[in-house]
């Protein structure tokens, strides 16, 4: 499960990297984003270009009667996107990208769970694949989930799964709501072996979402 990630950048860089057609929303840099946060999500407007808006992390199906935590799904397995009712339609029409500069995974050890930071060696922007959904009641809530896949060779040493990372060259294919080529889309749902990806242990302070500074990225001495 992917339960924490990082977005240590600014709206202007998000606009540039994702080639947005509209201004990105204002947001604060964070080194410890937990579920239920409102974070920038990139999506494709059917007739008005590529946009980025703040969405709630924890997908709420449009058919849910309430917004209770029972329905909030922070992750979606790539292997079952076409099977689960909560994800099936979103996979067809509402795919998105979640801007990030890194994430954390926890490795179970004899002494407890050890957190690891995973990100690019230059700490640059990249993107998770996700699905977004809207819920209409007394208010309209846009929410999203991060797609996970089998861990690549780097991460498999500590965890069996990882967020699905999408190459920049595939952003257009993934975001296009008119793209119904399931064979092409399914080909993207595989672990991405990224040479520039790094991983190292960090302090257990990341376990508490109230801790949110760049100090969390310092390597821990094990």
56 φ/ψ angles, rounded to the nearest 5 degrees: -80, 130
Q: How far is CA 182 from the centre of its chain?
A: 21
Q: 27's torsion region: left (phi>0), alpha (psi -120 to 50) or beta? A: beta
pLDDT in tens, the chain (222 residues): 679 999 999 999 999 999 999 999 999 999 999 999 999 999 999 888 999 999 999 999 988 888 876 667 999 999 999 999 999 999 999 999 999 999 999 998 888 899 999 999 999 999 999 999 999 988 899 999 999 999 999 999 999 999 999 999 999 999 999 998 888 999 999 988 888 999 999 999 999 999 999 999 999 987
- What is the bridge-based pairing of β-strands 126-136 and 95-100? antiparallel
Domain 5-217 annotated CATH 3.30.470.10: no
Q: How far is CA 21 from the centre of its chain?
A: 21
Whether the Cβ atoms of residue 220 and residue 193 lie closer than 8 Å to each other? no
Sequence-separated (6 or more) residues with CB below 8 Å from residue 61: 71, 85, 86, 133, 135
Q: H or E segment at 119?
A: strand 112-120
For residue 157, list its beta bridge partners: none
Residue 205 DSSP SS3: helix
* Domain boundaries of the chain, sorted by first residue: 5-217
Residue 207 DSSP SS3: helix
Tokens for 60?
Answer: 């709420």
**Stated pTM of the model:** 0.95
């Amino acid at each position: 499960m992917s339960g924490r990630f990082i977005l240590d950048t600014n709206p202007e860089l998000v606009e540039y990297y994702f080639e947005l057609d509209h201004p990105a929303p204002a947001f604060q840099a964070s080194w410890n984003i937990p579920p239920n946060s409102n974070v920038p999500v990139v999506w494709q407007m059917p007739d008005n270009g590529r946009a980025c808006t703040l969405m709630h992390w924890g997908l709420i199906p449009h058919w849910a009667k309430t917004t209770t935590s029972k329905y909030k799904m922070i992750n979606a397995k790539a292997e079952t996107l076409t099977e689960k009712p909560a994800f099936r339609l979103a996979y067809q029409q509402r795919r998105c990208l979640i801007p990030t500069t890194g994430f954390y995974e926890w490795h179970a050890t004899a002494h407890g769970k050890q957190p690891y930071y995973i990100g690019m060696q230059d700490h640059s922007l990249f993107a998770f694949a996700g699905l977004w959904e809207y819920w209409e009641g007394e208010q309209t809530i846009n929410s999203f989930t991060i797609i996970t896949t089998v861990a690549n060779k780097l991460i498999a040493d500590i965890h069996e799964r990882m967020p699905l990372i999408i190459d920049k060259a595939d952003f257009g294919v993934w975001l296009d709501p008119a793209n119904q080529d399931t064979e092409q889309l399914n080909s993207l749902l595989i672990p991405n072996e990224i040479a520039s990806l790094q991983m190292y242990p960090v302090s257990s302070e990341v376990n508490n979402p109230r801790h949110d500074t760049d100090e969390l990225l310092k390597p821990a001495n094990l």
